[in-house]
Structure 1
Amino acid sequence: MKIYITEDDMCTTQKLNLARVQRWLEANGATIVDEEAEADRLICMTCNGWSLLEQASYDRINKYKDDFKDRMIVLGCVVDAHPRNVAELYNGPAVGTKGTRPLSFGGIEELFPEFAIPLEDIPAQSIFRRKEDYRDYNLSKRFINIAEGCAFNCSFCTHKPGLGNRRSRPLDDIMKQIEQCVKEDVRVVNLMGMETALYGMDVGSSYPEMLRAVLEYDESYEVHVAQFQPQGIFRYYDELLELFSNRRVTDIQVPIQSVSARIMKMMNRREHSDRVGPFMKKLRAANPRVVLRTDLIIGWPTETVEERMASLDFAGAHFDEISLYTIELSPDLPAWKYQPDAFGTAELDEIRRTSRDYLNANYNVVVSTGQQEDSSMKDAELKRIQLRERRMKEAV
């Protein structure tokens, strides 16, 4: 059987899950082909991250639905987040992301009943399936999903409707990946997920327990901490400070979003800057190697200039790298009620530009505006490399 997998716009977590699905297909004798014309079956990938990515998913479905008809499988977060939209375009097989198990796309097994090797026999992957999926192709750095889905219910989030609730991987399963990384001489392990701070609460574990096990297993690799929500600092302050102070922890991402309690309430989030600020100062003193990163949501409906500046100044004072985002409000989500007070597109562009310029002028930080302006990511890359080199020198 020859299978073609379309281009995808998915997050790192789902790219790794897709790599696992490909391994499973190949283990059962299927061949992944580079041209759709050669394929017996086609897997059409979807993503719900931004409206542009959602629309690109619908465009892909429309592109292939006639030629492949019942030979196409639509797969990804749009299937869960917008099932009616998918059904209007295509009435064939579809596989969502949500599930009861930590690793996504388990529903695909039902579409290949003839396969002898079950998907559960294929381990979680730490390498993307294609070189093109990497921003920086470097196999000495590996991505390890510790959990999928999210424990929070942010009023604006388009991701959770596709990804579902938090599903933590068992610690022993994570450690098997760490063991394999050591065997393959991996130098950096990135502990990641949609949100990671509340890892383990659903499987009788915790983030500190997991991180301690990873650090103590072997000393041959550095550890990067991704998508660690401030709630984790609030919950595990002292234990976490000890663990993050280990100089093998060299990158930590804590998305604070805003320091306005009013705005955070509108986002259905708690504001923890009173704990995050002192924590970051102590951490910087204890671990000069670590690069501290955060995300800010700016231009939230009704946000005042004073509220925005307070968030920018807090981030500039406590972090090394700052990603600035403005939010697309969706009519499917609770935050849509704030749409009448939302800034216009031109205003949001100006807010991102002036915020970026302010941070660059007043703080020695790396600033980008993420997927919304890809050029800013490229502009930030050189400063990012220089920052890491400086942190290494400071730690000597």
Structure 2
Amino acid sequence: MGLKPTVAFNHLGCEKNRVDTEHMLGLLVQAGYQVDANEELADYVVVNTCSFIEAAREESVRTLVELAAAQKKVVITGCLAQHFQHELLEEIPEAVALVGTGDYNRIVEVIERAEAGERVKLVSPEPTYIADETVPRYRTTASSVAYLRVAEGCDYRCAFCIIPHLRGNQRSRPIESIVAEAHQLAAEGVQELVLISQITTNYGLDRYGKPQLAELLRALGEVDVPWIRMHYAYPTGLTPAVIAAIRDTPNVLPYLDLPLQHSHPEVLRAMNRPWQGQVNDDVIHRIKDALPEAVLRTTFIVGFPGETEAHFEHLLAFVERHRFDHVGVFGFSPEEDTPAYDLPNPVPEAERDRRREVLMLAQQPIAWAHNRDHIGRVVDVLIEQENPATGMAIGRSARFAPEVDGLVYVSGAAPLNQIVPVTITAADTYDLFGDVAPVIAAPTPALTLAP
């Protein structure tokens, strides 16, 4: 038997896509395939695509066209493959295979069939698959951080969102499966686990008949990982039980990513999130009362169809009132196959851009003030990069999630992939700067001689 072909991966999109990529890599390596980071040297390039918004689709298509022009054998996987399963093989003749979001576990079979000369299309109409701890995984993130998927898909039907169409309804993994994978990752030296799903606060609803996030967090408290961070906490799911589990479980960070999307009840109703307008303020106050050290990140959509200047001013005041640690702002992107695509009273693109800029500018002094508050404090920092030329190390404090928040630039020797105490000496809008704090040894107890 000759050598198996070499496969390279081009990963696009979110951390859920990244986990899919890591499982595909793991399955191919387990099956004896060569994996190479260099696309030019690979026989096949698997492009794990994103189709969430127009800009993501454009990036995915641009990547596919460039690889096709280089005459690479392209395997298209992920959300774009699920979304445009009837068009892509026709439009990109160089593509040898198309694999949907619920079929990536069959990647070895796909390559084998492609090698035999078949043009493969594997796209389940309704994705139902979700990998568990038994599926091999070849991680692509920094060795100190891993994303841990607790559920896949979404049962909500927000008017602007295409995710249920691309990824199916919510399906949660058993608590035991998640904890087993967390132990595996801890044994690999991971210092931070980021729990991901579309709606993490709804974890377990489909499997257990009621949300089980509080129970999951407490179970993960037994895992030997210093930091556990949770992404995408919908406000209605932040029950007293969940907040208590965050407070009582030492390795669960009080970091909450709340995808609020808007503040005005009329806009939220149009977004098909009618329940949220009544709870936003109350939930934020409850979090801050119960978790005074809570770090709050959120995202907003501006320029949703029908959003008036008064609605936008309401959102602006909301941001200035609650003083979130981190805010992301997106201009509305009309997506086919979503109810919002045909809504009346669209906001012109130039006005969407203006509102986004105004909101981001309003957040900047708030973010800077939060960072300035840490000057003089000693904070734990997970060191992720070293720059021998400058003697600087780069990492993140618990306030900063990987890839979306700021960084901490550290002077002085600091061990890679370890959490070290750092004295913060300066701050700008998004990042912190500091020195490795001296470790003060505990005093030696006095020797007492027996009489």
- Whether TM-score is above 0.5 comes out as yes
Alignment partner for residue 321 of structure 1, among 318, 322, 326?
A: 326
SS in 2 for 1:341: coil
Q: CA deviation at 1:291?
A: 0.9
2:182 equivalent in structure 1: 178
Question: Normalized per residue, which structure has more helix?
Answer: 1
Contact 2:132 2:173 in 1 (8 A): no
Contact 1:62 1:89 in 2 (8 A): no
How many positions carry a matched residue from both structures? 357
Alignment partner for residue 281 of structure 1, among 282, 285, 295?
A: 285
Residue identity in the other structure for 2:216: M
SS in 1 for 2:340: helix
Query: Relative contact order, CA 8 A, sep 6+: which one is greater?
Result: 1
Residue identity in the other structure for 2:54: S
Contact 1:2 1:40 in 2 (8 A): yes
1:209 equivalent in structure 2: 215
C-alpha distance in structure 2 between counterparts of 1:8 and 1:82, whole Å? 18
- 2:356 is the counterpart of 1:352: yes
Q: CA deviation at 1:12?
A: 0.7
Q: CA deviation at 1:335?
A: 0.8
Contact 2:53 2:335 in 1 (8 A): no
Q: CA deviation at 1:282?
A: 3.3
Alignment partner for residue 11 of structure 2, among 1, 8, 11?
A: 8
SS in 2 for 1:255: strand
Residue identity in the other structure for 1:202: D
SS in 2 for 1:293: strand
Q: CA deviation at 1:225?
A: 1.3
> What's the CA shift string for 1:320-346, capped at 9, x where partnerless?
2211111110233221112x5222222
2:418 equivalent in structure 1: none
C-alpha distance in structure 2 between counterparts of 1:281 and 1:28, whole Å? 52
Residue identity in the other structure for 2:219: A
Structure whose alpha-carbon radius of gyration is higher: 2
> What's the CA shift string for 1:187-225, capped at 9, x where partnerless?
32211122212111222262222122112x146522211
2:109 equivalent in structure 1: 110
1:240 equivalent in structure 2: 242
1:73 equivalent in structure 2: 75
Question: Normalized per residue, which structure has more strand?
Answer: 2
Contact 2:82 2:100 in 1 (8 A): yes
C-alpha distance in structure 1 between counterparts of 2:366 and 2:132, whole Å? 51
Q: More displaced, 105-114 or 176-185? A: 105-114
> What's the CA shift string for 1:290-341, capped at 9, x where partnerless?
3111111122122122222322333443332211111110233221112x52
Contact 1:155 1:267 in 2 (8 A): yes
Cα separation, partners in 2 of 1:14 and 1:166, compared to 1, 3 Å: same
Alignment partner for residue 166 of structure 1, among 142, 162, 170?
A: 170
Contact 2:335 2:341 in 1 (8 A): yes
Q: CA deviation at 1:58?
A: 2.5
Matches within 5 A, 1:9-88: 9-65=12-68, 71-88=73-90
1:231 equivalent in structure 2: 236
Residue identity in the other structure for 2:35: I
Q: CA deviation at 1:41?
A: 2.9
Give % identity: 22
Q: CA deviation at 1:270?
A: 2.8
- 2:198 is the counterpart of 1:194: yes
1:221 equivalent in structure 2: 226
Alignment partner for residue 123 of structure 1, among 135, 139, 152?
A: 135
SS in 2 for 1:297: strand
- 2:269 is the counterpart of 1:257: no
Residue identity in the other structure for 2:44: R
C-alpha distance in structure 1 between counterparts of 2:174 and 2:295, whole Å? 28
TM-score, with length taken from structure 2 = 0.70
SS in 1 for 2:87: helix
C-alpha distance in structure 2 between counterparts of 1:141 and 1:288, whole Å? 26
Residue identity in the other structure for 1:123: V
Unaligned stretches of 5+ in structure 2?
A: 116-130, 372-402, 408-427, 436-451
Contact 1:258 1:271 in 2 (8 A): no
Cα separation, partners in 2 of 1:386 and 1:13, compared to 1, 3 Å: same
- 2:142 is the counterpart of 1:143: no
Contact 2:144 2:189 in 1 (8 A): yes
Q: More displaced, 354-363 or 344-353? A: 354-363
